[in-house]
Amino acid sequence: MRNVRCANCGETMEIIKIDKYSKPHGVALVSAGLLFLVAMPLEALLGLVLIPFGLVVSFSKKDVWNCPACAAMVDRSR
Ligand SMILES: [Zn+2]
């Protein structure tokens, strides 16, 4: 595995997994979906779409390079 050096401080970077999207957004989507499902029969179908979408948003992870020295992060695809 190739080493990647931090652009800021020259420290060797390590791969970590972080949430791909912000978790509160996913939770909000699931909550809205549940609310539609329970409270609004006409929007229940929308709820059925929102819930799995929210779960995907909540649990998607991506690999990034993280510098242990200065906490700089770089997308691994770069
Ligand atoms: Zn650094």
Q: Provide the residue type at 22 as one letter.
A: S
CA atoms of 60 and 25, how far apart (whole Å): 12
Nearest residue to 36 (alpha-carbon basis) of 60, 59, 54:
54
Residue spans of the domains in the chain: they are 1-20+62-78, 21-59
Task: Quick: pLDDT tens for 15-71.
Answer: 999 999 989 999 999 999 999 999 988 889 999 999 999 999 999 999 999 999 999
| Confidence class for position 1, pLDDT limits 50, 70, 90 | low
Report the separation in Å between the CA atom of 73 and the middle of ligand 1, taken as the mean of its atom positions.
9
Report the separation in Å between the CA atom of 58 and the middle of ligand 1, taken as the mean of its atom positions.
28
Task: Quick: pLDDT tens for 9-31.
Answer: 999 999 999 999 989 999 999 99
Per residue in 3-30, is it b (16+ CB within 10 Å) or e — as a string?
A: ebebeeeeeebeeeeeebbeeeebeebb
